[in-house]
Homo-oligomer: A and B are copies of this chain.
Amino acid sequence: MDQELAEDLVAANRILAAHGVIDAYGHVSIRSPRDPKRFYLARNIAPEMVQVEDLLEYGLDGEPVDGARKPDSVSERYIHSEVYRARPDVIAVVHNHSPSVIPFSVTGVPMRPIFHMAAFVGDGVPTFEIRKVQKGSDLLVRNPRLGAALAKTLGKCPAALMRGHGSVVVGENLQRAVGRSVYLELAARMQMQALALSSKITFMDKAEVKANNPVQDYKRAWPLWRAKALAQAKADRE
């Protein structure tokens, strides 16, 4: 794995933790630039602790290429493998327990595009109800079948909520998946507050969403976020 890419993925783990988007249980992956049927994901540790040597390579079956380290894998790796399988356009996948999106996931209230930094919400953020696929589950996406069902709910959307659990957020590159995760959390908070103020909200319209989305690559934030994350990763080694 390329060193810069590995550092990008380490940074992504730590950025999401620093923004309160993932707790000790989220994960973020990136598709291999060498083989679209492979992706990289950290082993089963808290994202805030991830270092380059914690990154493992997986196949689209959700199993580590180096089978020996399988017990070390996160149980929900099938979120990643099945989204990569279903969505050739997706290069990065985030799974989080983003606290402000969970209230939306358990009510019928849809997230709508309220904030231009999260205009992608206007492309649809459906909610995955695991109960439709498996009754009495622990809500975790523990196998390829559940991962495929989640990927089906996600469809062509940039993100999907997972009822009572969190969300999955995707991107055509890592920066976008990370940036979308950060701003989805903020947008959820804003929508809750706006709904408390008024039932009449001016959301972004379709044309505005369409105009905004290609612009939002979160490239201005990335160098700041990455530098702080890798400085912390370095300090943690010392």
State whether the Cβ of A193 lies closer than 8 Å to any Cβ in chain B. yes
> Is A135 part of the binding interface, using a Cβ–Cβ cutoff of 8 Å?
yes
The reply to whether the CB of A194 lies closer than 8 angstroms to some CB of chain B is yes
A223-B138 in contact (CB<8A): no
In the assembled complex, A3 has its CB within 8 A of some CB on chain B: no
Q: Is A108 within 8 A of B190, CB to CB?
A: no
CB distance from A172 to the nearest CB of B (A): 18
Contact A106 B212 (CB under 8 A): no
**Provided the pairs A138-B212, A186-B99 are in contact, do residues A197 and B197 lie with their beta carbons within 8 angstroms?**
no
Measured in the bound complex, the distance between the Cα atoms of B220 and A48 in whole Å is: 11
Contact A197 B198 (CB under 8 A): no
- Asked whether, in the complex, the Cβ of A99 is within 8 Å of the Cβ of B165, the reply is no
Q: Name the segment of A58-66, A84-92, A112-120 touching the other chain.
A: A112-120
Please determine whether B116 and A164 come into contact, CB atoms closer than 8 angstroms. Answer: yes
Give the shortest distance, in Å, between A236 (CB) and chain B (any CB). 9
- Would B207 and A136 count as touching, CB distance under 8 A? yes
Q: Is the CB of B164 within 8 A of A138?
A: no
Evaluate whether A195 and B197 lie within 8 angstroms (CB atoms) in the complex, with A204-B164, A223-B45 already known. Answer: yes
B99 contacts A189, C-beta separation under 8 Å: yes
A residues sitting closer than 8 Å to B (CB atoms) are 23-25, 44-46, 48-49, 97, 99-100, 102-104, 106-109, 113-117, 119, 129, 131, 135-140, 163-165, 186, 189-190, 192-198, 200-205, 207-208, 210-212, 215, 220-221, 223-225, 227
Query: In the complex, given contacts A103-B190, A136-B207, what are 6 additional A-B residue pairs having Cβ atoms less than 8 angstroms apart?
Result: A24-B220, A45-B224, A100-B193, A103-B197, A106-B114, A107-B198
